Structure 1
Amino acid sequence: MQKEKEVKLSLAVLASGIMSFCGVLIETAMSVTFPTLMSEFNVSTASIQWITTIYLLVISITVPLSSYLIKKFPLRYLFIFANVMFFVGLLSDMLAPSFGILLLGRFFQGLATGIALPLMFHIILTYAPIHKRGTMIGLGFLITSVAPAIGPTYGGILSTNYTWHSIFLLLIPIVVLSLIVGLYAIPKIPVKTEDKLDWLGLIGITLVFSGALCFLSNLETFWSLAYLAITVIGGLIFYRASKQNTSPLIDLSLLGNRQFRLFLFAFLICQMMLLGISFIVPNYIQIVKNGSAFESGLVMIPGAIIGAILAPISGKIHDLYGAKRPILIGIIITMIGWGMLSTFLGTIGSLGIVCGHIFYMIGIGLCYSNLMTVGMNQVSKTLQNDGNAIFNTLQQFAGAVATAVVAVIINVVQKNSHLPLQASTTLGSKLAMFFILALMGVAFIGCLRIFSKPTQS
């Protein structure tokens, strides 16, 4: 009986993880097609990044809502709804005749992933024993981390030999598989709650994320100030709603926990690295090195595979020996690898990028999932859904911010440096990478201080 429960738990995680896998796969698969799509739809570098940003923005808004949805509806029903939305998104993008329809498809995919991702971690946090939590969270990250590994190559092969539309077509059988596994493994457990949806909080958080991303994407224009004002207003609305509502969208009291806050910050910087490099490398290979979409995807696959494989292994290390060693060692390796790649970008070819990417992804594999595990270990059982929502919401938002910031920095340098396109793209990429590296340095200092305390291991 116990064995059957463990098998169903793993299959439930797998089923919800497959949808997250598909979402991230398309996200990174499409990144190698950006130069092609810019030409086909006649849009700029700053505009094309909305293929990624709109997807991550919708997830960032949907994930906080998931905390309420999980209490309100059976997990099985939420899972089915997410599958249907993802299928609609795939069809919309596969048949997209315009850039607007392409973004609409990404909207539906973001909605589905925004439900599936917290659903997967909710199942782990609710049903997995505490002594296996690190391993199970690592398994969840393995499922979603494999996608960046094969996404660029998957997208490169299809867009080079066929058309970018086929990227979406071939995912339909995978979504069907997810539905079949989920219907078997995810039970129909009735739920009872008297909580009401915090509509004011939902409006506030929508304004925050939408305004912030529009602000970052339009830093060069006068409208950036208006978007900044929207962000601030949204933040005030969300904060007030969280204080006044007895059942807030997200319980912000969690952010008062210093350790939770610090591990969350370090986790988000890792996410910024993963999404930032997925934008930088394909554009660098194709614009600076005149490589193909296939080549730009191929250079990222070895490092991404290593990072994905290390996720459950590092989770097991956490369960056996604690969080200190995998997290601190992982961040150090990450900073060394990222720093070398940032420094030598422009003087190295594809092989050098592969080596640098592999090195820093070893570090990401050691620390990334463990940062979420140790962060969630700071949260009481009654606030697990809120902690899960905060991690998953800000994870996707950090990815959107990273893509937007990197795109803006590169775009600004391309327009204002008076250098040739190849040289300005390289310089912009290096500046963006050094900016993210500095943030990781701050995260490392914070983690080091916490783990230096006798009570931390």
Structure 2
Amino acid sequence: MDAVKGKSMEGKQFKTVPIVASFLIAGFIGMFSETALNMALNDLITIFNIAPTTVQWLTTGFLLTLGILVPISGLLLQWFETRQLFFASLAFSILGTLIAALAPTFEFLLVARIVQAVGTALLLPLMFNTILLIFPPEKRGGAMGMIGLVIMFAPATGPTISGLIIENLTWHWIFWISLPFLVFALLFGIRYMENVSTVTKPKIDILSILLSTLGFGGIVFGFSSAGEGGDHSGGWESPVVIVSLIVGVLSLLLFSIRQLKMEQPMINLRTFKYPMFVLGLLLVFMSMMIILSTMLLLPMYLQGGLGLTSFTAGLLLLPGGLINGFLSPVMGRLFDKYGPKWLVLPGLALCTVVLWFFTGVTTTSTVALIIVLHSCLMIGVSMIMMPAQTNGLNQLPPQLYPDGTAIMNTLQQVAGAIGTAIGVSILASGQKTFLAGVSNPADPVNIPGALTAGVQNAFVFALIVAAIGFACSFFIKRVKPKH
């Protein structure tokens, strides 16, 4: 990245490269630890003698914390300086990682994950808001591309690296290895991070915070609980799931009405007056549903359908993740030069075609085919996410940047919960249908076929989402900011 100097709205110059580097280091380790623990879930079930539905709280608790705190980030960005929020996010991340590394029980580990999530919830919106403030619109694509590299590269390498760690050490070392990098990111930020935003300290409305917490928290919890489900918890028919979703939807409705009536809203919903922001939001939402449902389905298919080990499955998914990460800066520069349409449109077309192929995978599909399809899917995603997101945020006036980044990041968490829950539900339904049609459902020989049938059905859902996104992408236009 060129060592250019950005200018804020007041004309102040910033050393952009050290600021971005601080976010990249902190963001990489935060995103790495988010996915790395997934490979250890089976071991944790045995070590702590807990049920699979209990261990899933390590993921659900993380998502729930993000769903509650990220919407409030728009308010925090206006109340605290950039350095204060950056140091707070690193402090929570370091504390959570240390507790996890020392955790003697499942309860301690769950608390650690929630503390880690607080750090991530502070860091992500701050990172995007800072990029919007220190880079002019014509250079934001390249900067967002660097952020995209970290956001995709870290989760891609997480399962593979953690698989190696688990094979040779204990699961605690996932966190012990992360800890020194987080400390380094904190020290680096102390030296180079600058205050880039203007602190306005708007009035805090407690009722808005409460409604936001119940709304986004209820929806994320409801969908996550349904996704964990299976027969044990009742899935979508569980009273907990139904009540959570009803409370979440009603609270969000009341929250939206209140925000529109307030002079200083917690989240300014007038961002939805900008059509390219709304379209970018929809495309990012659908992309996240595709990514996270695929990240769940493919490991299950590789292990349950093809009979591969978890470490081998992680290795097979590594090329696609690396390709996506390395292409993000390239797509950023292409976006700066050509705009979003000629990236987003072919990207969604590629995703639609690849997902159509995924609906036909079988227990005899080759490993090479899966690697090629997954890599092509990740290329398509790299062409969609950053251009759609950056183009949408570019249309907003600077005073709405905190609100825009808060909305964009919040709905990404909601999309993840919804995509995962629906994917798991369709997979389970497909398995039941398959087993109902065989002579001996209890025969272990039928298990891989049943899982593969469920995965095929779940990919049909992802295909429909991609097709809708492709239709929407025809309406995207390049934004030329007047500010």
Same fold (TM over 0.5): yes
CA distance in 1, matches of 2:379, 2:197: 42
CA–CA distance in 1 between the matches of 2:85 and 2:479?
Answer: 43
Alignment match, 1:280: 297
Displacement of 1:195: 0.7
**Paired residues of 1:62 and 1:111 also in contact (CA < 8 A):** yes
RMSD: 2.6
- Partner residue of 2:449? 423
Matched, 1:220 2:237: yes
Letter of the 1:149 counterpart? A
Distance 1:51 1:433, change over 3 A: farther
**Native 8 Å contact 2:145 2:386 kept in 1:** yes
Match of 1:148 among 155, 164, 168: 155
| 2:229 paired residue number | none
Check 1:4–1:444 CA distance in 2 against 1; reply closer, same or farther (3 A cut).
Answer: closer
- 1:61 is matched with 68
Q: Are 1:434 and 2:441 matched, yes or no?
A: no
Equivalent-residue separation in structure 1 for 2:4 and 2:138 (angstroms): 19
Q: TM-score, normalised by structure 1?
A: 0.92
Secondary structure of the residue aligned to 1:259 is: helix
Match of 2:40 in 1: 33
Separation of aligned partners in 1, 2:193 and 2:158: 27
Q: Deviations over 1:168-187 (max 9, x none)?
A: 11001110121122112212
Structure 2 residue corresponding to 1:376, chosen from 385, 389, 393: 393
Secondary structure in 2 aligned to 1:344?
Answer: coil
- How many pairs does the alignment contain? 454
Distance 2:317 2:140 in 1: 29
Structure 1 residues 365 and 321, CA, compared in 2 at 3 Å: closer, same or farther? same
Shift of 1:253: 1.9
Unmatched 5+ residue regions in structure 1?
none
Instruction: Name the CA distance, whole Å, in 2 between partners of 1:426 and 1:37.
Output: 26
- Which sections of structure 2, spanning at least 5 residues, go unmatched? 7-13, 227-235, 436-440
Question: Is 1:448 aligned to 2:474, yes or no?
Answer: yes
| Native 8 Å contact 1:310 1:362 kept in 2 | yes
CA spacing shift, 1:277–1:263, aligned 2, 3 Å: same
In structure 2, C-alpha distance between the alignment counterparts of 1:190 and 1:128, rounded to whole Å: 13
- For residue 345 of structure 1, report the CA deviation from its aligned partner: 4.7
Instruction: Find the aligned partners of 1:35 and 1:350 in 2 and give their Cα distance.
Output: 23
Contact 2:216/2:252, CA 8 A, preserved across alignment: no
Q: TM-score, normalised by structure 2?
A: 0.87
* Contact kept? 2:346, 2:380, Cα under 8 Å: yes
User: Equivalent of 1:135, from 139, 142, 163?
Assistant: 142
Letter of the 2:357 counterpart = M
Partner of 1:185: 192
The answer to whether residue 124 in structure 2 is matched with residue 117 in structure 1 is: yes
Does the residue aligned with 1:300 lie in a helix, a strand or coil? helix
The offset of 1:211, in angstroms, is 1.7
1:143 maps to amino acid:
V
8 Å CA contact 1:141–1:369 kept in 2: the answer is yes
The match for 2:173 among 166, 179, 183 is: 166
Aligned equivalents of 1:175 and 1:148: distance in 2? Answer: 16
Bigger Rg, structure 1 or 2: 2
2:412 is equivalent to residue 395 of structure 1: yes
The residue that corresponds to 1:235 in the other structure is 252
- Cα distance, 1:49–1:279 mapped onto 2, change above 3 Å: farther
Could you tell me how far apart the structure 1 residues matched to 2:213 and 2:429 are? 27
CA distance in 2, matches of 1:387, 1:153: 34
- Could you tell me how far 1:49 is from its partner in structure 2? 3.7
Are 1:336 and 2:362 matched, yes or no?
Answer: no
Inter-CA distance 78–297: structure 2 relative to 1 (3 Å threshold): same
Deviation at 1:188, TM superposition (A): 4.7
Give the 3 Å change call, closer, same or farther, for CA 351–3 of structure 1 in structure 2. Answer: closer
